[in-house]
Structure 1
Amino acid sequence: MTYLAVPATSAPAVALQLWRSANSIQKAAIVIGLSLILLAVLAPLIAPFDPNSQSLISRLRPPLGFERAKAGYWLGTDELGRDVFSRSLYGLRLTLMLAGLGATLGLLIGGTLGLLAGIVGGRTEATIMAAVDTQIAVPFTLVALFLLAILGSSIEVIVLVLGLAGWEQYARIVRGEVRRLMNMPFIEAARAAGAGPFRIARWHLLPNIISPLVVQFTLALSNIVLLESTLSFLGLGVQPPTATLGSMVGIGRDYMPTAPWIVAAPAMMILLITFAVQILGDWLRDGADVRLRAR
């Protein structure tokens, strides 16, 4: 008559168990994801040059191993003579930060509204679900372009825009799960015992909706990475000279016929991020699902 109990297990033990249960593709995604995070965190220590330092006499130099390559510039230089490797590291750092903050903000907004709609019901639920339907009906790229054109392209505004992308999915998922769980016997028992809405949400609802939220978070994270890259590609994201992976691809597209290495490194990092996040989403879902772990 209570929610599913999760055995008390230490975090390292759970991580080791999940690692052993992972297949080769999942382990590769884990290694790629941790490597990208490590590169982003250590970017100031690893980058051999200032990412914004220009040297016009060294512009458009190819990576090491090619003719005209310049010593120290492992991945070559861009149209302003800036080191592509250093800019890719700093771009990865900023892109992951924006994606993480945006996905977390969307989770908080959508999850809170979905929980409120499922528990309270009535006009509150109708209002929230009307906002959800409106968000779904309007292409969010147009909304993002409008907000950035009005509010500017500061880091705070970009995080807000990215956080508003996909909140409706969280709200729909949480509201549906809460409505289903509210009819379960253990919720009725908690009510009969005098538990209030906050206690029911904290101890009975949230542990049982972690799994779909983890899956949606990973989907949203990769989608936000692509959205940020799209906005930067269009010139409405983080403004130059600050580098993001999307802005590097956007600027480098004009030089692809003669200097494809400008685009190759950031584009490959975007691909690796989306691959790792999607695979890790399924892996974390299985580990976070209390219904599976309680068996």
Structure 2
Amino acid sequence: MTDISHSFTLKAIRLPGIGLWKQANWIVRIATLVGLALVVLSVAAPLVAPFDPNDQSLISRLRPPLGFDRYKDGFFLGTDELGRDILSRCTFGLRLTFALALAGACISLLIGGTLGLVAGLAGGHLDDLIMGLVDAQIAIPMTLIALLTLSVFGSSIDIMILVLGIYGWEQFARIIRAEVKKLRQMPFVEAAQAAGAPPLRIAFVHVLPNVVSPIVVQFTLNFSNIVIWESTLSFLGLGVQPPTATLGSMVGTGRDYLPTAPWIVLAPALTILLLTFAVQILGDWLRDHADVRLRSR
């Protein structure tokens, strides 16, 4: 009996993940493997990077990657204009870019999701007030907000997280509000209200599970957009300041050497492309499996 129970428990734990993997097409599987590789690479950056990302060696500056003339042993992806190892800087840059994008997307979800849920459930003047804030956020270019914030408070990592966190929260608010307003007319929500269920129970038990799908999709879109937005700010010199490496700052500093040393730009740009590709594909796939309405068909 013990063996049977143990076997049943293992099957109950393992089979869902195996089933999802078997249902996924080859593009999703590639995106999953790419995403896992990037996550592992970012987490294990201190162990994987062959050199300190900030170590300079002017004698070794602008060395090409492995397989080209003037390649220097150990610098597999070449070196930049200051002789720093591109592979090490990409690894640590990926780590910081990933952390900034994840923190920013979570803050955006928290702000926009909370306001959208409150607006959709409350209605009335509170709904009008929240949507007025959303319209104001849309009307003001995010570039101006970022420039003002970074010029006043500086370009520290904490300030960058704050700037990235207020990017895209209005999209969460609008989408979740629209979904909640639609769900309020559904029979199961009306039945819960008629049965005397408190507002918090209605929100977290009956409404939120049915808005997981648009939240997942918007989160992945926002994550990818924040990666590009952080790269843009760093490219313009407004992001995390040197010598700390992010993928965007590496592209920004390497653009002047693009004709003679393209590997300085290609390595971080390809990393950005792979990261956004994996997140977008996985987000779309998770949307299909998280939507309770699709599963019920």
Aligned residues: 287
How far does residue 270 in structure 1 lie from its aligned partner after superposition?
0.5
Verify: 1:86 aligned to 2:84, yes or no.
no
Letter in 2 for 1:106: S
- In the other structure, the counterpart of 1:32 is 34
How far does residue 10 in structure 1 lie from its aligned partner after superposition?
5.6
- In the other structure, the counterpart of 2:153 is 151
- For 1:12 and 1:235, how far apart are their aligned partners in 2? 47
- In the other structure, the counterpart of 1:111 is 113
Q: Which string of whole-angstrom CA distances, capped at 9 and with x for unpartnered residues, describes residues 5-30 of structure 1?
A: xxxx9664333222111111111111
- For 1:279 and 1:206, how far apart are their aligned partners in 2? 23
| Aligned pairs for 1:171-210 within 5 A | 171-210=173-212
Determine which of 95, 98, 104 is the counterpart of 2:97: 95
Letter in 2 for 1:293: R
Q: Which string of whole-angstrom CA distances, capped at 9 and with x for unpartnered residues, describes residues 132-189 of structure 1?
A: 1111122212221221111111111111111100000000011011111111111111
Letter in 1 for 2:243: P
- For 1:164 and 1:132, how far apart are their aligned partners in 2? 11
Determine which of 17, 20, 35 is the counterpart of 1:18: 20
- For 2:13 and 2:295, how far apart are their aligned partners in 1? 14
- For 2:86 and 2:135, how far apart are their aligned partners in 1? 42
3-state DSSP class of the match of 2:174?
A: helix
Alpha carbons of 1:219 and 1:12: their partners in 2 closer, same or farther (altered >3 Å)?
Answer: farther
- For 1:253 and 1:86, how far apart are their aligned partners in 2? 19
- In the other structure, the counterpart of 2:288 is 286
TM-score with structure 2 setting the length: 0.94
How far does residue 97 in structure 1 lie from its aligned partner after superposition?
0.4
- In the other structure, the counterpart of 1:250 is 252
- For 2:22 and 2:141, how far apart are their aligned partners in 1? 42
Alpha carbons of 1:139 and 1:13: their partners in 2 closer, same or farther (altered >3 Å)?
Answer: farther
| Aligned pairs for 1:116-127 within 5 A | 116-127=118-129
How far does residue 287 in structure 1 lie from its aligned partner after superposition?
1.2
User: What is the RMSD of the two structures over their aligned residues, measured on CA atoms?
Assistant: 1.2
- For 2:201 and 2:15, how far apart are their aligned partners in 1? 29
- In the other structure, the counterpart of 2:272 is 270
- Runs of 4+ in structure 1 off by over 4 angstroms are 9-12
Alpha carbons of 1:12 and 1:226: their partners in 2 closer, same or farther (altered >3 Å)?
Answer: farther
Alpha carbons of 1:115 and 1:51: their partners in 2 closer, same or farther (altered >3 Å)?
Answer: same
- In the other structure, the counterpart of 2:47 is 45
Structure 1 gap ranges (5+): 1-8
3-state DSSP class of the match of 1:76?
A: coil
Alpha carbons of 1:291 and 1:12: their partners in 2 closer, same or farther (altered >3 Å)?
Answer: farther
Identity within the alignment, %: 67
Bigger relative CO (Cα 8 Å, ≥ 6 apart):
1
Q: Which string of whole-angstrom CA distances, capped at 9 and with x for unpartnered residues, describes residues 225-283 of structure 1?
A: 00000000001101100000000000000111111111110000001111111111110
- In the other structure, the counterpart of 2:77 is 75
- For 2:106 and 2:13, how far apart are their aligned partners in 1? 22
- For 2:170 and 2:211, how far apart are their aligned partners in 1? 16
Structure 2 gap ranges (5+): 1-10
Q: Which string of whole-angstrom CA distances, capped at 9 and with x for unpartnered residues, describes residues 196-231 of structure 1?
A: 111100100000000000000000000000000000
